[in-house]
Amino acid sequence: MTDWAPYTARAAHWFQSLRDAICAEFEAIEREAGSDAAFEYTPWKRSAVEGEGEETGGGTRGLMKGQVFEKVGVNISTVHGAFGKEFAATINGASAQQPQFSATGISLVAHMANPHVPAVHMNTRFLTTTKAWFGGGADLNPPLPYAEDTEAFHAAFKATCDAHGEGNYERYKAWADEYFYIPHRKVYRGVGGIFYDHLECADEAAWEANFALTKAVGETFLAIFPQLVRRRMGMAFTPADKAQQLEWRGRYAEFNLVYDRGTLFGLKTGGNVDAILMSLPPEATWS
């Protein structure tokens, strides 16, 4: 059986470096808007679930509230331990008899002050149970969609995905469309993006290939999303525009609390509650 610990460490180092680059870019955007907002970083230790005993890993919650980014969280974590028996049965490669896991990743959600600027979500992760795999993706959530923004976002990720395997983009785009759907509202959470999971690493070569894709996804996000922010952040908006933003934030909250697997994973594995729920918007409305 492969010892995945060195690979987990490599992935964790990358996620931290990506976090640093993203936060620096977001703070630069705030400076361009005349704001001195900056990320505040709060370290946390994982609380062991019942039967584990000691704390096992942790992470850092990064949060900024500024003039452009009304609320943005960029979190990293590296944890290990054992799933509860029932939850283990729902996780790839885990079971009640073999509930052990390790996980490292980055998770980002940005809610924007200007409703013309799209909200966004991005996360990538590496997990091990009796199997090892990567997952992640990014999706755009504009309250006031612009076709050119949607096209630019998708084009950037298409180029990235297809560079790492023919047909990847169409597969991961369809996966995102299926995943980021709110059945009780019969609407999509946003205008889509990409989503992938369980990219299994049977050997070192497969790990390197999946890691290369995962790094490219993070780099693509860092390249394209700030462009969209700068394109829209100076636009004037009306009370009606703001009302539409708040309504769509409600949809975002509903999805993350009812359907999002990452939220459930964090809560079921002793993660930091504030970090897990940083995806929720600072303000929302329901009619």
Which pLDDT score, from 0 to 100, does residue 252 have? Answer: 94
Q: What is the CATH number of the domain that holds 195?
A: 3.40.1500.10
List active site positions: 121
Which pLDDT score, from 0 to 100, does residue 184 have? Answer: 95
In a domain, 7, yes or no: no
In a domain, 6, yes or no: no
108-163 pLDDT, tens digit per residue, is: 999 999 999 999 999 999 999 989 999 999 999 999 999 999 999 999 999 999 99
In a domain, 214, yes or no: yes
> Residue 34: pLDDT above 60?
yes
For residue 190, CA distances in Å to 177, 179, 275 come to 9, 11, 22
The whole domain housing 274 covers: 56-279
d(CA 94, CA 157): 31
End-to-end CA distance of the chain: 54
Here the tokens at position 160 are: 């990235």
In a domain, 26, yes or no: no
In a domain, 31, yes or no: no
In a domain, 258, yes or no: yes
> Residue 51: pLDDT above 60?
no
Which pLDDT score, from 0 to 100, does residue 1 have? Answer: 54
At 282, the amino acid letter reads P
Structural domain total, the chain: 1
- Kindly list the strands in the beta sheet with 57-64, ordered across the sheet, starting from the edge strand earlier in the chain: 40-45, 57-64, 69-82, 100-112, 119-128, 132-141, 192-200
C-beta of residue 117 within 8 angstroms of C-beta of residue 232: yes
263-283 pLDDT, tens digit per residue, is: 988 887 777 888 888 889 999
β-strands 187-188, 181-182: how paired? Answer: antiparallel
In a domain, 142, yes or no: yes
Over its C-alpha atoms, the chain yields an Rg (Å, rounded) of 19
Read off the pLDDT band of 50 (50, 70, 90). low
Which pLDDT score, from 0 to 100, does residue 261 have? Answer: 84
> Residue 55: pLDDT above 80?
no
80-102 pLDDT, tens digit per residue, is: 888 777 777 778 777 777 788 89
In a domain, 212, yes or no: yes
